[in-house]
């Protein structure tokens, strides 16, 4: 087990700086929108912590440590995505029909986001 990054959503301003510096796409969200960290992709590199202008990111979530090979694979995937995005017009990036493996990956990612939102709602309900 190791500590993973956690975003205090109440202090997050949605600037997107953390998303750009994350080497593994572990942070999801968009400008001016709630950001969250997917612990299964977080490498605990602290890049997001050092970049955050509001200091709302800490290493406080427990998670399973990634192997060096897993970290490299996630980093390579992000680099491939960034390279592909620079070469392909935006209208082609999101085709109407997706392959099964791509759909499964997107389904897993959507579920991770839904789980993160549910955790935030549960935490807010406990505070009330």
Mean pLDDT of the chain: 81
Q: Does any domain span residue 59?
A: yes
Q: Does any domain span residue 105?
A: no
Which is it for strands 27-28 and 36-37: parallel, antiparallel or unpaired? Answer: antiparallel
Q: Does any domain span residue 118?
A: no
Q: Does any domain span residue 96?
A: no
- Name the H helices within 1-128: 17-21, 47-51, 68-87, 90-93, 100-127
Total Cβ atoms within 10 A of residue 18: 24
Total Cβ atoms within 10 A of residue 22: 24
Q: Does any domain span residue 56?
A: yes
What's the domain range around 33? Answer: 2-81
Angle at 49 between CA 36 and CA 58, to 5 degrees: 65
- CATH code at position 69: 3.30.70.20
Decide which of 97 and 38 is more confident.
Answer: 38
Which tokens sit at 33? 């929108």
Q: Does any domain span residue 75?
A: yes
pLDDT over 50 at 98, yes or no:
no
- At residue 83, the 3 state secondary structure works out as helix
Tally the domains of the chain: 1
Decide which of 90 and 22 is more confident.
Answer: 22
Q: What is the pLDDT of residues 42-71, one digit of tens each?
A: 999 999 999 999 999 999 888 888 899 999
Q: Does any domain span residue 51?
A: yes
Q: Does any domain span residue 122?
A: no
Decide which of 11 and 116 is more confident.
Answer: 11
**Mean local confidence (pLDDT), 5-16:** 89
């Amino acid at each position: 087990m190791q500590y993973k990054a956690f975003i205090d959503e109440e202090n997050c301003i949605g600037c997107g700086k953390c998303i750009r510096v994350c080497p593994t796409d572990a942070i999801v969200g968009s400008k001016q929108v709630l950001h969250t960290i997917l612990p299964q992709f977080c490498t605990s590199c602290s890049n997001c912590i050092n970049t955050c202008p509001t200091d709302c990111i800490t290493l406080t979530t427990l998670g399973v440590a990634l192997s060096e090979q897993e970290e490299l694979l996630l980093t390579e995937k992000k680099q491939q995505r960034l390279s592909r995005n620079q070469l392909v017009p935006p209208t082609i990036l999101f085709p109407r029909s997706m392959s099964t493996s791509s759909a499964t990956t997107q389904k897993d990612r959507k579920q991770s986001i839904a789980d993160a939102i549910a955790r935030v709602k549960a935490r807010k309900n406990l505070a009330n």
